[in-house]
Amino acid sequence: MRQMTNEHGNTVKVVEHIMLSNMWEYYILEAADEDGIAFALVVGDYTEMGSVSMDEIAPYIVSRTVRLHEILPAPSWSWCTDSVPA
């Protein structure tokens, strides 16, 4: 888990990062529930938060990691310095 903050002071906890073949990025904020629905910050045509079906995006995943110290933050967001792993 790693925290991101935006220019408005909103902070989210990111648990996973997913990249799709169309280069859309999913910053997973809550792991998928029993129905396979996760909550994410999605960077695609627009940047927005919402629910995502992991079953629907699974065929298009080209990168998936929980090693968030290797990932850049979402546009207009920055990693909180106190959550970087040692």
Q: Domains of the chain: which residue ranges?
A: 2-81
Instruction: Write down the pLDDT at residue 86.
Output: 44
CA distance 61 to 41: 16
* For the chain, percent of residues with pLDDT exceeding 90: 93
Residues 6+ apart with CB under 8 A from 53: 36, 37
What is the average pLDDT score of the chain?
Answer: 93
Per-residue pLDDT of 13-61, as tens digits, reads 999 999 999 999 999 999 999 999 999 999 999 999 999 999 999 999 9
User: Tell me, what amino acid is at 42?
Assistant: V
